[in-house]
Amino acid sequence: MKASGAAALPKIVVPRAAKKRRRRNQRRYRLPTQAIKKLVTSARWLSLALLSVCIWAFVMVGQDESFYLTSIPVTGNKTISSSDVVSKSGLAGIHIFGADPNDAAAQIKQIPGVISATVVLEWPNKVDIQIAEDSPIALWEQNGKSYWINESGLLIQSRSESADLLVIKAEVDEPVEEQAYVAQEVLVGALKLRNLRPNIDRLYFKPGIGLSYQDGRGWRAYFGSGPDMEQKLVVYETIVEDLLSRAVTPAYISVRNQAKPYYMANGN
C-alpha cells in the first residue's frame, strides 16, 4: 500500500494592483499623528488651556472663605469707634478681589472729624485702616446739643466728654444746620478771651450781639467778637473798678464797641 500524504495547497499569487490598493487603504486610515501634535501644541490651544486653568483657579479662590475680609483693624482713631470706620469703609465681609482701597478711604473721609484715611490691602485677606482725627478746639452748645468746633469753625457732633474745652453756648432756639460753621471772628474772639482769662470756661453767643461772659461778681459782660479782646478787657476792668469804687453793682457792662462802652446798674 502507498502511504497517503497531505496534498500541497496551491500558492496564491496576489496581483500587484491588489497590493497597491491595500497599501493605499492602509495609508488612508492611518492616524494623522503629526497633525494632532501640531494641533495640541499650537498657541491657540495652549492659550485655551491656560484660560481654563485660570477660570478654575478664580472659581476656587472665590469659594474659599480665607480670601474674605473678616478682621479689619483700625488705628489712629481716638473718639470715632472702629466699628463706625469699618462700616463706612464697606469692606467688612467682602472678597479681597472686590475690595477697592481708594474708594474705601474716600468713604471713611466722609465721617465728620476724619481728616485723612489710608487703606492698605494685603494678600490673602488682610486689610489695615489708618485714620487721623480732627482735634476740637472748643465746644458749641445749641438747642440742647453739643458740638465740637475744629480750627476751621466746622461744627462736628461731639463723641466724648471734653472737660478742658471752652464752652460757647448759643442763645438761639434753632437747631444746628448740617455742615454749619462758627464765624471766624466769633471763634477767634472766644479763644482770645480764654487765653487772656484762663478762668473763663463758658461764654455765650447771640447773633447781632456777639460773645458775652457771666462775671462771677453777678453781672453779664458783653465783648462782641473779633481779635481785639485785650483792649476790650482793659476797658472792661477799668469800668468795673470805677463802679465798685462807687458801690455800684451793674446789671451788665458792654464793651462791644470799646470806644463807646456802656453799662446798666441794678435797679435802673
- What's the pLDDT tens digit per position in 7-40? 555 555 545 665 566 665 555 555 556 655 665 5
Domain 138-265, what fold? Rossmann fold (3.40.50)
Domain 66-133, what fold? Ubiquitin-like (UB roll) (3.10.20)
C-alpha grid cell for residue 185? Answer: 471772628
Reported pTM: 0.69
d(CA 36, CA 40): 6
- What's the pLDDT tens digit per position in 234-243? 999 999 999 9
CATH 3.40.50 residue ranges for the chain:
138-265
- What's the pLDDT tens digit per position in 86-134? 999 999 988 888 899 999 999 999 998 899 999 999 888 899 999 999 8
